[in-house]
Each structure stands twice: as structure tokens, then as C-alpha cells.
Amino acid sequence: MSLFSSLFGRKAPQLAPVDLAALRCDVHSHFIPGIDDGAPTLEAAMELLHAMRELGFTKVITTPHVMSDGYRNTPAIILGGLDKLRREVAAQGLDITVEAAAEYYLDHELEQKVMLRQVLTFGQDLLLFELPFMSEPTILLQLVFAMQTQGYRPVLAHPERYGFWNQDLSRCEQLKERGVLFQLNTIALMGGYGPSVRKQAEKFIDRGWYELIGSDCHRMDHVHALRDTLAEPYLHKLVNSGKLLNAGL
């Protein structure tokens, strides 16, 4: 080996995998069977829950999609599915706590749901919502204000995935100033959504903008990607930052 290859070709030592047991709780997933694009059956849901327990999680807060033009899930539908899932968890003796909230799509019906308090939250009034991927909704700040006036704490799901913010972080800064919490999709850090999303997630970690981390797990390939993320330096940086709220939920 030449001097130059020994100096410049040497790879950085790989970090040990992050122990996800330190997070205790995953806050974003799609495990209730048959009501969105997540687990299609109870058997598939249980396979995912067993995998999450093996990864170190002792609690999951599963968050089915709610959107007016797609998955019209109500609190009753979600909580009914949660009850069935919990019964199967107990029947199999799986040592994991399962709770449910929802991932609300910011559409024309969300403000009404918020004002009527017809939403499911987790933790201390944390309300998880997502944006369209094509463009920022004009009513974004209006919705954030509505959530806060009703006593909710808005949590923006996977902000690193909204490509319309890639070149300008001013709106993200504004959301943080207004008290919006950011939730990272863990597998973004191994390139699960492409290099630009990974770079954006790293920028947000450098700025200290994430308070929550979630798997956004729909199926087993997400579990495999999650395992592949555990040695990523930026995951270590975030978990060791002391900013994450997962363990207290």
C-alpha cells in the first residue's frame, strides 16, 4: 500500500450501533392493520411489533394516516384497531406497550378537526401532522396557530423530506420560533429517501432542530433500513444531544 493510499484511502472507523433502548419509545409508525398503507393484516402488524421490540423499543405510539382524500380514519376507527392490536400483543405475551395517535395530513379538513378537538394526540397534547410533498400549503402558519390556540403542541412529521425547503430554511426557522416540534424519520440518515433528504436531516441535526425521532415504519423493509442506520454518526449525534423527548413519553 502506498503512503497516499494509507493516508487518504483509509476509512473512518465505524461507530458501534446506537442502542435504541435509550429512546424507549418510537413515535411514528403505521401498525394498526388494514386502515392505511401500513400493516395490511394483524399478522403483519405483529411481525413488525416483534421486530421493534428486538430493536430495543419498549413502547410504540402508532400513527395511522388521516387525510380527507385518502384514509378517512376517525378516532373511533383508530382506537378500535388499537384495541384489537393490544389484545393480540397480550395474547402473544409480547413485552411492548402500544398506544395510538394519528398522522394528520394538512388539508382543507384539518383546521375544522382541530377546532372541534376531533384529533388524537400523544404525550402532553402533541399533535403529529404532515405536509404535501409538492409545495408548502399557504395555510401552514394559520394551522399552526389554530393548533396552539386549542392547546395542542404541533409536531411536524419528517420535515427533512419536504424538498421545497431544500434551498431556503427560513420557513423552518420561523416554525421553530413559533414552537413547532420537528420529528425525524430515522432512516433518512442512511439515505433511505435519497441523498438530498439525508443532507437536509443532517443540517437540521447540526442546528438542533429535532425534538423527536420516529421510524415511520410501514413494513419490514423499513425495519431492515432502521437496522442499517444504527451506526450512522448523525444518529449518534442526535441521540447523544440530550434534546430528544422520546424517552419521556
In percent, the amount of the chain with pLDDT more than 70 equals: 95
In the three-class reduction of DSSP (H, G, I as helix; E, B as strand; rest coil), residue 120 is classed as coil
| pLDDT band for position 14 (cuts 50, 70, 90) | confident
CB 122 within 8 A of CB 101: yes
Q: For the chain, what are the domain ranges?
A: 16-244
Mean pLDDT of the chain: 95
Q: Which pLDDT band, with edges at 50, 70 and 90, does 33 fall under?
A: very high
What is the grid cell recorded at 146? 389554530
Query: Per-residue pLDDT tens for 137-175?
Result: 999 999 999 999 999 999 999 999 999 999 999 999 999
Q: What is the pLDDT of residues 51-65, one digit of tens each?
A: 999 999 999 999 999
* Alpha-carbon gap, residue 80 to 70, rounded angstroms: 19
Contact between residue 18 and residue 235 where contact means Cβ atoms under 8 Å apart: yes
pLDDT at 101 over 80: yes
Check residue 2 and give its pLDDT: 43
Joined grid coordinates for residue 119? 384529533
Average pLDDT over residues 179-200: 98
Q: Are 61 and 27 in contact (CB under 8 A)?
A: yes
Q: Compute the radius of gyration of the chain from its Cα atoms.
A: 19
Is this prediction's pTM over 0.85? yes
Q: What is the DSSP string of 178-196?
A: TT-EEEEEGGGGGTTT-HH
pLDDT (average), residues 54-80: 97
Model confidence at 223: pLDDT above 70: yes
Torsion of the alpha carbons at 161, 196, 189 and 48, rounded to the nearest 10: 50
Q: Which CATH architecture has domain 16-244?
A: Alpha-Beta Barrel (3.20)
Task: Give the per-residue pLDDT at 11.
Answer: 57
